[in-house]
Amino acid sequence: MDYRIEHDSMGEVRVPADKFWGAQTQRSLENFPIGRGCEPMPEEIIRAFACLKQAAALANRALLPERMTQEKCDAICAAAEEIRGGALAAQFPLVVWQTGSGTQSNMNVNEVIAGRANALAGRKLLHPNDDVNMSQSSNDTFPSALHVSAVLSLESGLLPALDALIATFLRLEKENEGVLKSGRTHLQDAAPIAFSQEISGWRSSLEKDREMILLSLPPLREIALGGTAVGTGLNAPQGFGERAAEELSRICGSAFRSAENKFHALSSRDEIVFAHGALKALACDLMKIANDVRWLASGPRLGLGEIRIPENEPGSSIMPGKVNPTQCEQVTMVAVQVMGNDVAVGMAASQGNFELNVFLPVCAYNFLQSARLLAQSMASFNERCAAGIRADREKMAENLRRSLMTVTALSPRIGYENAAKAAKYAHETGASLREACLALALLSGEEFDLLYRPEEMV
């Protein structure tokens, strides 16, 4: 392999000749082999960094024109646009498990932008620290990249997938109006319910989760850029944070603002904890919904069998004809992962010391994985399972007819204890509730028929 010699404040380093990065990226690549090949810095973070570098260059051009020339600004923006488009993805090899401030990933982006711009210019136009990192520090850029990537991942990935699943449940509600079935509590027979009502519970849960996710967005829109090393704004011009936030909003197509208190913005990760809490709530509800669906679809002959779900692939390597609720299973596994990620995010956020939290990469890794997995999981579940849910109305009617808990409708007339006697008698003898009430002389046939109307119990 051909190499070139790069240098930094610690001396010379050999860098592969075909790479745009410089000495600091190469040192990180050699010093942090943990998770290499399987746990790189999330691409969402790299794209967010590119947006930040572009916004910073434009702000510096306006505020420090004598240092940020138009040529330099244009070069930074052009290279940043390439990164945002994914053209330079191979230039970002660093892993999550590096310095806790994310300094090496910030420098990776600085060096790649400088290297790419210099290659295009045919001369050394940009310096990664003096030009690309002008008015910035890793300590304010990585928290900003975390917030930008979080907002964009929620807006562009998770919320659209969530909205699509909510829309599917709304359609299923309308299709199943008036379809009666037995309710269940404690996994035991309960009073009747309409299938549309059961689906409405799923839909409402997701709508509540959506509201909580939207509540988490405004705090995430505050960025630390402008705080530089410790929050004082050292080496950044007055108004840099505000001007950069304006440019960032334009570049990303989503509103961001400069954090009012940069000391908090550098040292606390409470916004990401709050936002991930909303993702955890969504994961909990998806776990419940997926379990409901696979219970209701259990069978095909020896389970509840009240709904039919799409049959996507063979379910067993030994049992011919077996089909499993695999989309429900992927949802529940994703939910477990997100719940685990929530612990990691919370622990990481609690570990800041003085002016900086140094668990930033692991916060980013877990938050973005949760958002990505939930979005992809919901999209797959919606397309391959929920959209194809069909009620087995005959099975629902049969189960409702056999349920003893419809006796609840009789208790206002014959009392709780007598209603319990009728239910127990019916269960022990195999009689219907009507036969039980007549045998125990609790109601006449005419009285039972007048009171026992399952369609009026919902």
24 to 8, 55, 104, 188, 432: CA distances (angstroms):
7, 23, 7, 62, 79
Beta-strand ranges (E) seen in 195-293 are 222-223, 257-258
Strand 257-258 versus strand 222-223 pairing type: parallel
Active-site choice (7, 204, 316, 444): 316
Tokens 């930040």 correspond to what residue? 52
The two tokens of residue 285 are: 């509800």
Whether omega before 300 lies within 30 degrees of 0, making that bond cis, reads yes
Own/partner long-range contacts of 340-344 (Cβ < 8 Å, ≥24 apart): 341/276, 341/366, 341/367, 341/369, 341/370, 342/276, 342/277, 342/279, 342/280, 342/366, 342/370
Instruction: Please list, residue by residue across 47-73, b when 16 or more beta carbons sit within 10 angstroms of its beta carbon and e when fewer do.
Output: bbbbbbbbbbbbbbbbbeeeebeeebb
CA distance linking residue 279 with residue 123, whole number of Å: 47
β partners of residue 308: 390
User: Three-class SS of residue 216?
Assistant: helix
316 is known as an active-site residue: yes
Helix (H) or strand (E) holding 342: helix 326-349
Residue 81 CB-density burial (10 A; 0-12 exposed, 13-18 middle, 19+ buried) = middle
Active site annotation includes 186: yes
Nearest to 53 by CA among 133, 130, 155: 133
Strand, helix or coil for residue 172: helix
- For the chain, give the number of residues: 458
* Catalytic residue numbers, as ranges: 186, 316
